[in-house]
């Protein structure tokens, strides 16, 4: 069975059986506790095919996280505007999103001043700690290869509390790297396709960087929901037949994880998809 069917079945299940709830930003159909698994073997990257996914935008956001960046202006300079609605909060520096993902990945525990501050050497660099262990044959089988974006002390300083909150990495047979992600809240229409792609890209990137082979992405959702405004568009999307997932390779190994870019991604089997499915982002 094509692995994208998991996603389409989840849409159908939410529309048919989801609980109608009114929350912080509107009405949703929701279910609690769902999981999907995607193979990353042989370079496979699960970019959903029943609608066109802006994978370059997704990868640029991922690299922004990896750099520890929290300045939305830097994303805008690369043509990425997915955080704009969350950046309209009252802050002294326009575009400062607070201690969101990148800050937690690279400087967990460091006091947050603003997006212009240099945090080098401050806090816990969770991502580098995982990389160091993945590169060490004696440590890569650890069951403690965990990165958390959920920092209760700084939640009120964030433009948006993290949705994808905890990732764990696992190496089997000394060579095959998998990532398991727990996401507390999943916008099935817009956010989830990006999250699947982003953490699959991250797993491929870490595998290449650490001399391993990408194996699997396991995706666990807490509150999975469809916004009422997205029902019509998703009802049309589920009628489409999935196409084969593309395959990629990363051209070379850079010295630092933050040095990779879109130009390092080469498709060895092309990304083919159905047309764009238009849905408005609900911040």
Task: Give 66-93 pLDDT, tens digit per residue.
Answer: 999 999 999 999 999 999 888 766 678 8
- The predicted pLDDT at position 24 comes to 85
Q: Which of 58, 163, 179, 210 is catalytic?
A: 163
Spatial contact of 107 and 165, defined as CB atoms under 8 Å apart: no
User: Which of helix, strand or coil describes residue 19?
Assistant: strand
pLDDT tens, 190-241? 999 999 999 999 999 999 999 999 999 999 999 999 999 999 999 999 999 9
pLDDT at 126 over 90: yes
pLDDT at 114 over 70: yes
What is the number of domains present in the chain?
1
Residue 218, in any domain of the structure:
yes
Residue 45, in any domain of the structure:
yes
- The predicted pLDDT at position 3 comes to 98
Q: What CATH number does the domain containing 36 carry?
A: 3.30.572.10
- The predicted pLDDT at position 214 comes to 98
pLDDT tens, 23-64? 888 899 999 999 999 999 999 999 999 999 999 999 999 999
C-beta neighbour count of 143 within 10 angstroms: 8
- The predicted pLDDT at position 88 comes to 62
Please list, in sequence order, all residues whose beta carbon lies within 8 angstroms of the beta carbon of residue 70, skipping any fewer than 6 positions away.
96, 97, 98, 99, 100, 102, 103, 115
d(CA 136, CA 181): 23
81 lies in which domain range?
Answer: 32-222+247-269
Q: Please indicate whether residue 138 is annotated as part of the active site.
A: no
Q: Where are the alpha helices (DSSP H) in the chain?
A: 4-17, 55-66, 72-77, 101-107, 126-134, 191-209, 231-237
Residue 229, in any domain of the structure:
no
Which tokens hold the place of 282? 């609900």
- The predicted pLDDT at position 8 comes to 98
Residue 212, in any domain of the structure:
yes
d(CA 167, CA 33): 16
Spatial contact of 38 and 231, defined as CB atoms under 8 Å apart: no
Residue 263, in any domain of the structure:
yes
d(CA 184, CA 142): 24
Residue 14, in any domain of the structure:
no
Spatial contact of 110 and 119, defined as CB atoms under 8 Å apart: yes
d(CA 99, CA 120): 14
Residue 12, in any domain of the structure:
no
Closest to 196 in 3D by CA, of 41, 4, 43, 12: 4
- Pairing of the two strands 213-227 and 176-187: parallel
Cα–Cα distances in angstroms (integers) from residue 194 to residues 72, 126, 189, in the given order = 18, 22, 10
Closest to 114 in 3D by CA, of 128, 100, 126: 100
User: Which of helix, strand or coil describes residue 202?
Assistant: helix
- The predicted pLDDT at position 92 comes to 81
- The predicted pLDDT at position 89 comes to 65
Residue 230, in any domain of the structure:
no
Half-sphere exposure of 25 (CA within 13 A, CB side): 13
Query: Mean pLDDT across the chain, nearest whole number?
Result: 96
């Amino acid at each position: 069975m094509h692995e994208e069917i998991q996603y389409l079945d989840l849409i159908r299940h939410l529309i048919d059986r989801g609980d109608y709830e009114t929350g912080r930003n509107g009405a949703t159909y929701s279910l609690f506790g769902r999981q999907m698994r995607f193979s990353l073997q042989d370079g496979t990257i699960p970019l959903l095919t029943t609608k066109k996914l802006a994978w370059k935008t997704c990868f640029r956001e991922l690299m922004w996280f990896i750099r520890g960046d929290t300045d939305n202006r830097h994303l805008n300079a690369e043509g990425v505007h997915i955080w704009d609605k969350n950046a309209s909060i009252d802050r002294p520096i326009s575009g400062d999103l607070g201690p969101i993902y990148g800050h937690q990945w690279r400087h967990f525990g460091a006091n947050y001043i603003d997006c212009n501050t240099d945090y080098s050497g401050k806090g816990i660099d969770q991502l580098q700690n995982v990389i160091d262990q993945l590169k060490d044959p004696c440590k890569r089988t650890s069951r403690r290869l965990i990165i958390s974006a959920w920092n209760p002390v700084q939640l009120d300083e964030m433009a948006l509390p993290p949705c994808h909150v905890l990732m764990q990495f696992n190496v089997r047979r000394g060579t095959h790297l998998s990532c398991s992600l727990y996401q507390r809240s999943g916008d099935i229409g817009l956010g989830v396709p990006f999250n699947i792609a982003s953490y699959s890209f991250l797993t491929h990137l870490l595998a290449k960087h650490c001399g391993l082979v990408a194996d699997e992405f396991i995706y666990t959702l807490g509150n999975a929901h469809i916004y009422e405004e997205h029902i019509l568009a998703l009802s049309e999307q589920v009628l489409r037949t999935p196409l084969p997932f593309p395959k990629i390779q990363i051209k070379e190994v850079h010295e630092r994880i933050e040095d990779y870019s879109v130009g390092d991604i080469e498709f060895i089997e092309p990304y083919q998809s159905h047309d764009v499915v238009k849905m408005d982002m609900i911040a």
